[in-house]
A and B are shown apart, each in its own frame.
Chain A
Amino acid sequence: QVQLQESGPGLVKPSQTLSLTCSVSGDSLSRHIYYWSWIRQPAGKGLEWIGHISGSGGTNYNPSLKSRVTMSVDTSKNQFSLKLSSVTAADTAVYYCASELSVGVIVIFDYWGQGTLVTVSS
């Protein structure tokens, strides 16, 4: 059973950088069938895929956020991370990390962290 846990500051000032880490247990980040994703959800709204990273460090980002997003992976700690720069109030959301499983060519978010609320405010 894979478990994911987000960690990081719950409050970030406008124009600063949001930094979150996802710790993975029960599986190795290096497994080739997985990508590791970040997804966010503003209060009362839907889900937005931010991007993903493979165990070897390959990334894809949502074009809507690409200029501000950086993801990294630390396989020695079995963790992956998100940095979102120049944040505004519009970035206030619950941020989830999730495992992205490929079943053939279908991509499923099969395991999720509990989510962490990040508020952007001065």
Chain B
Amino acid sequence: DIQMTQSPSSLPASIGDSVTITCRTSQSISNFLNWYQQRPGKAPKVLIYAASNLQTGVPSRFSGSGSGTDFTLTISSLQLEDFATYYCQQSYSRPPWTFGQGTKVVIK
């Protein structure tokens, strides 16, 4: 299975900050990487697919980049509703699909 490592696990930030979350994979996955946001008590919601494509309806302050084994999710100008947990997910080649362990963005 492809292992996913996210960092940091917790990210203190303030409203208006720009924050970056990193996801590293155990093998090259081209751009087969998605990012999800999960608010407490809710199901995850896809933000970015294929590493850098913004899902319809997602604010433009979210952006993704990377390929191969190293990926980033950036939130520019953090809003109150962005304090949540973020997961990366790979879909390279064949199942099982795997997720990172999550990064929780918390209020500083």
Contact = CB atoms under 8 A, between A and B. Distances in A.
B43 A112 contact: yes
A9 B46 CA distance: 28
Which secondary structure dominates where chain B touches chain A?
Answer: loop
Given A46-B87, A46-B100, A106-B50, A113 B43 contact: yes
B91 A106 contact: yes
A90 interface: no
Interface in B1-57: 1, 31-32, 34, 36, 42-46, 49-50, 55
A64 B96 CA distance: 9
Interface string A98-112: 100001111111101
Contact of A110 (B46, B97, B101): B46
A47 B55 CA distance: 20
Nearest to B93: A105
Interface residues of B, number: 25
Nearest to B56: A110
A74 interface: no
B69 to A, nearest CB: 17
Contacts, number: 64
B89 A109 contact: yes
Given A46-B99, A47-B87, A96-B44, 8 more contacts: A46-B102, A47-B102, A103-B50, A105-B32, A108-B46, A109-B89, A110-B55, A114-B42
30 contacts: A46-B87, A46-B100, A46-B101, A46-B102, A47-B89, A47-B102, A48-B99, A49-B96, A49-B97, A49-B98, A49-B99, A51-B96, A52-B95, A60-B94, A60-B95, A62-B95, A62-B96, A63-B96, A103-B49, A103-B50, A106-B32, A106-B34, A107-B97, A108-B34, A108-B49, A108-B91, A109-B89, A112-B44, A112-B45, A113-B43
Interface of B: 1, 31-32, 34, 36, 42-46, 49-50, 55, 87, 89, 91, 94-102
